[in-house]
């Protein structure tokens, strides 16, 4: 019976793996879209950051409604509805591109964020509950690698389909005719993506995915909020994840905009560098934790690395190419500034934070675990505010966008505090 159960779980896990790849593809496409729209709409760094803000802020006000929808229609239908919403968002990019109205792009991003939130709310618990509890961490790690691997591929696809004939214009002032051509190049790719996601939504609806029971998920989550916030390790863990997602999105989605400001022609693929480093970090985490290093120490090392890289980025020389000349150029790659590659290396610092914070934050919660998990999910809203503050700091700093990365420093310092002390606190009155 156990062998038969494992066999029947293979197809659902393959389907869910595909959904995680789609989630990563749609999410990390923002890293290419942000500098692209900045160029054709002539946006300031702050305005460009609103592209990410409108995407991630959807988590703040759609996370709990998404959970209610899942309770009402089930996990399988919730996945299909999430993808249907993503399809609508993809179609909204077409009139946005035709009109070149910035507010329309922001609305399309908002709808895309809402659809991804609904899909995330359905698919993440599904992974946990689709197999044995003792192997859930392995399944989550595999899905995380798929998600970030999609982040490596998405910018490359975007560049190949949309920017292949516009790379030489990275450092130019565009004419209206060039702007129109670049905007129109969005139409067919987003139409294709919308139709593909819609087709997948139908497949999931008709697929053999088993429906999971909702009997242990009651609707009185809010009644436990006050009680769960009496646990400092959980409350501080929510803040740690908020700051983590802020720096993750800054590192992944602003690197292309910074590359554009430096005149790097292949700016649209820079997110792939950060995501590749995150994939490497995930693999190292799977191999080393807890065999060689504990979760707490891994989190502490990640935070220290983040602080070091942040200072190196802000104080670094954009005309230095030592790292690229030593590693990338000999392998046939392009010459990139050290500061740009330091942003990519933040992927290594960020990879371990999410899987390390979750068990530390939920430790000792008992029956309040599900409520605590819901609050931790809402920490994803940090992705809305991190780039926003980066955009504001970029406009205010004498160093421009390079100086804007200083906003990451307090984020990593808080994560370091949580790794050293915050996760150990079981009461607000004593540590």
Domain boundary among 149, 176, 209: 209
- Are 213 and 232 a contacting pair, CB within 8 Å? no
Query: Does residue 84 surpass a pLDDT of 60?
Result: yes
CATH number assigned to the domain comprising residue 387? 1.20.1250.20
Q: How many domains does the chain have?
A: 2
b/e for 340-351, b at 16 or more Cβ within 10 A?
A: bbbbbbbbbbbb
Domain boundary among 209, 243, 265: 209
Q: Both 324 and 383 in a single domain?
A: yes
Q: Both 223 and 260 in a single domain?
A: yes
- Give the span between the Cα atoms of 420 and 429, in whole angstroms: 18
Report, as an integer, the average pLDDT of 14-37.
86
- Are 376 and 355 a contacting pair, CB within 8 Å? no
pLDDT of the residue at 136: 59
Q: Both 193 and 224 in a single domain?
A: no
pLDDT of the residue at 111: 95
- What residue numbers bound the domain in which 423 lies? 218-431
pTM for this structure? 0.79
First-to-final CA distance of the chain:
48
Query: Does residue 7 surpass a pLDDT of 50?
Result: no
Q: Both 297 and 341 in a single domain?
A: yes
Structure tokens at 104: 């329309």
Report, as an integer, the average pLDDT of 182-198.
90
Model confidence band, residue 2 (pLDDT cutoffs 50, 70, 90): very low
Q: How many CB atoms lie within 10 A of CB 312?
A: 15
Q: Both 205 and 224 in a single domain?
A: no
Structure tokens at 417: 């505090």
Contacts of 366 (CB under 8 A, 6+ apart): none
- Are 341 and 358 a contacting pair, CB within 8 Å? no
Query: Does residue 120 surpass a pLDDT of 70?
Result: yes
Sign of the Cα torsion 317, 251, 139, 86 reads: negative
Q: Both 225 and 323 in a single domain?
A: yes
Q: Both 123 and 243 in a single domain?
A: no
- Give the span between the Cα atoms of 59 and 353, in whole angstroms: 19
Q: Both 172 and 55 in a single domain?
A: yes
Q: Both 181 and 257 in a single domain?
A: no
Model confidence band, residue 6 (pLDDT cutoffs 50, 70, 90): very low
Q: Both 126 and 262 in a single domain?
A: no
Structure tokens at 207: 């697929």
Domain boundary among 152, 176, 209: 209
Q: Both 402 and 266 in a single domain?
A: yes
Per residue in 333-362, pLDDT (tens digit) is 888 999 999 999 999 999 888 878 888 887
Q: Both 317 and 382 in a single domain?
A: yes
Q: How many CB atoms lie within 10 A of CB 388?
A: 20
Write down the H helix ranges in 41-135: 45-73, 75-99, 102-129
């Amino acid at each position: 019976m156990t062998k038969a159960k494992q066999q029947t779980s293979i197809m659902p896990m393959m389907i869910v793996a595909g959904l995680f790849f789609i989630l990563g593809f749609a999410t990390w496409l923002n890293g290419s879209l942000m500098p692209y729209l900045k160029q054709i709409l002539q946006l300031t760094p702050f305005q460009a950051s609103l592209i990410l803000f409108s995407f991630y802020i959807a988590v703040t006000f759609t996370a709990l409604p998404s959970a209610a929808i899942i309770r009402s229609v089930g996990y399988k239908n919730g996945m299909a509805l999430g993808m249907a919403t993503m399809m609508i968002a993809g179609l909204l990019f077409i009139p946005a591109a035709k009109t070149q109205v910035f507010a329309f792009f922001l609305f399309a991003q908002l709808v895309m964020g809402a659809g991804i939130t609904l899909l995330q709310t359905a698919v993440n618990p599904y992974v946990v509950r689709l197999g044995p509890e003792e192997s859930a961490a392995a399944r989550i790690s595999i899905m995380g690698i798929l998600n970030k691997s999609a982040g490596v591929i998405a910018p490359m696809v975007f560049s190949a389909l949309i920017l292949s004939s516009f790379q030489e214009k990275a450092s130019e002032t565009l004419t209206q005719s060039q702007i129109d051509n670049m905007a129109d190049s969005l139409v067919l790719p987003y139409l294709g993506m919308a139709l593909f996601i819609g087709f997948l939504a139908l497949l999931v609806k008709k697929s053999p995915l088993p429906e999971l029971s909702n009997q242990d998920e009651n609707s009185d989550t809010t009644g436990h909020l006050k009680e769960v916030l009496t646990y400092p390790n959980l409350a501080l863990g929510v803040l740690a994840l908020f700051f983590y997602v802020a720096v993750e999105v800054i590192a992944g989605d602003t690197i292309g905009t910074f590359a554009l400001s430096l005149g790097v022609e292949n700016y649209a693929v820079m997110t792939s560098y950060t995501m590749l480093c995150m994939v490497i970090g995930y693999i190292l985490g799977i191999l080393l934790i807890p065999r060689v290093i504990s979760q707490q120490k891994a989190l502490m090392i990640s935070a220290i690395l983040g602080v070091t890289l942040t200072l190196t980025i802000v104080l670094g020389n954009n005309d230095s190419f030592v790292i690229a000349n030593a590693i990338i150029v000999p392998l046939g790659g392009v010459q990139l500034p050290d500061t740009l590659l330091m942003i990519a290396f933040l992927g290594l610092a960020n990879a371990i934070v999410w899987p390390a914070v979750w068990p530390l934050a939920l430790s000792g919660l008992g029956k309040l675990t599900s409520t605590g998990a819901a609050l931790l999910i809402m920490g994803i809203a940090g992705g809305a505010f991190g780039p926003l503050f980066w955009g504001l700091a970029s406009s205010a700093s004498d160093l421009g966008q390079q100086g804007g990365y200083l906003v990451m420093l307090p984020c990593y310092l808080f994560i370091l505090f949580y790794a050293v002390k915050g996760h150990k606190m079981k009461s607000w009155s004593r540590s």
